[in-house]
Structure formats: structure tokens, C-alpha cells
Amino acid sequence: MTRSVNLQAADRGPGIYSPGRIVCLKPVCPGIPALHTEPTMRPLLVRSLRHRCRRTSLRLQVARAAAAFVLVLWFGASPAADFNQNAGAVTSANTCDALLKSEEATGGQMLIPNPNKPATLFTIKRPFAGDRASLVYVCNREGRLVNRIVYMHFQGQDLARAAFAKHRDALSKELGQPCWNPEQLTTKQKDLLPGGDLSSLPALANSVIWNGPQGQSISLQIREPLRASDAWQLRVSSDFSGVALNEVVRSIYRASGCSTQHLTDQ
């Protein structure tokens, strides 16, 4: 128990002394317990302890600041730091190793590679912008990303077209106006179409295309099932290179202002 002291002594702070006995009503600082000392103790000891308390507090502040700095460096260097799961464009890295590590670090489930398929194809299962999806990363032999294709499947035309509109709006918000939109063709674009319509170009008829950063081309495509029992499919492709298109489609790309850096000679 703490002994009673006079009111004058009680006003002197945590190190309180009286003619009979020096007591401390509360710790001088965290980590230094309350004092219960003999009459020989003098205010000098209390001041010394307060000085020790200030030094301890300063050390704690320095240690906390150093720990915070280390955490910033650690997470800043994390491969998932700049990884946006729902972005159409791939900008956080251009090596498959870094991208796959980011996928796994943010909850993506990598499927075991098929031994009968090239070792440059990797599949990740995870949601994409709220929809169940499979993401296929196509890499070259040097480990660079060639393209990434997001596959989403929907039971029924209404669900598929609603999802198409949702993803089209999200990609336009991310990337700006598309360079190709079959619903908003210019006269110049129409003049390049065989027969003046898109009936002979179903891939373009069902796609919207954007120019992305680093020369990549981002496209959103809807595919009708071949059989009534099959699901409708949506694809979001982020193409860096290796895409082969015929000369008619190439000319449409160029006339539309769409990037051709990802195209390769047939």
C-alpha cells in the first residue's frame, strides 16, 4: 500500500518525498516501477530516473521509426505492391516470374502445368473484376510476357452481354476511349470493311479494342457458344507481341489508330 503524504508533497510529481518516507504514487515512466524507498533518498534520484526515462523513450521512438522504415522497404519491394488484379493493362511487371508471384501473393491459384503443353503457358484461377475467371499467361522462352488472356464464362446470353457491358465500361474508365468500337464506326472504318459490313469479320464485330501502355493492345471480346448447351465466353486480352492478323484487319487497325506493335508477320 502507498502511505499517505501531505498535499505539498503530492504536488511534486511522480517522485514524491516527505520528511518521514519517500514514496512514488505512480511509475516515473513506463518500464520503471513505482518507488518505495528509505528516508535517505533525495530528489536527485528522482531527477536521475526521469532522465533515464527520457533516454529510454527516445530509444523506443528511434526503434519504432527504424522498424517502420524497414517495413516500408520490404513491402515496397514486394512483387505484389503495384499489382492491380482488375486492370486490363499489365503494367506492374513484364516478366512472367514476377507476374505469377504477384498472382499467388494476392490469392490467385496456379494450376499445375500440363506436361503435354509448352512450359511457357501458365493458368491462374481467381476472380477478375468480380467474375470467376481463368487467366492464361503466355510467355516467351526468355520469360517475358507475350500476352495475357482472361477467360470468363456465363450461362445465357443476357448474363454474358451484361458482363460485356460492365467490363467495357471498366476498361474505358481505365484506358480511355477505344480505338475500335463496332457500335461507333467512322466512315473511314466502314470503307475498309469487305462488302461494307462486319459479317465477314466476326472477331472484330464482337470486339472492342483499346491502346494500352507500353505498346500493348487490350481487347474485350464476346463469343457465342457453338452449341446451345455451352456457355457464352468473354475474353480480355492484353497483347504485347506475337499476334498474327491478315492484311485487311491490319489496315483496319492502322486506320482506326489502334496499336500495331503487338502484331507479327504472318
**CB–CB of 123/136 below 8 Å?**
yes
% of the chain exceeding 90 in pLDDT: 41
Q: Count CB-CB contacts under 10 A for residue 193.
A: 17
pLDDT of residue 4 exceeding 70: no
- What band does 50 get if pLDDT is binned at 50, 70 and 90? low
**CB–CB of 149/223 below 8 Å?**
no
- What band does 69 get if pLDDT is binned at 50, 70 and 90? very low
pLDDT of residue 59 exceeding 80: no
Set of cell numbers at residue 134: 481463368
Residue 30 has a pLDDT of 52
- What band does 260 get if pLDDT is binned at 50, 70 and 90? confident
Set of cell numbers at residue 73: 522497404
Residue 16 has a pLDDT of 42
* Domain residue ranges of the chain, discontinuous segments joined by +: 7-76, 96-264
Out of 29-43, 154-168, 219-233, least confident range? 29-43
Residue 134 has a pLDDT of 96
Look over the chain and give the mean of its residue pLDDT values, rounded to a whole number. 77
Residue 261 has a pLDDT of 82
pLDDT of residue 53 exceeding 80: no
- What band does 55 get if pLDDT is binned at 50, 70 and 90? low
Residue 19 has a pLDDT of 45
pLDDT tens-digit series, residues 24-44:
444 545 555 544 444 454 454
Residue 179 has a pLDDT of 94
Mean pLDDT calculated for residue range 102-128: 87
pTM for this model (two decimals): 0.68
pLDDT of residue 20 exceeding 80: no
Residue 182 has a pLDDT of 93
Q: How far apart, in whole angstroms, are the C-alpha atoms of residue 168 and residue 221? A: 9
- What band does 81 get if pLDDT is binned at 50, 70 and 90? low
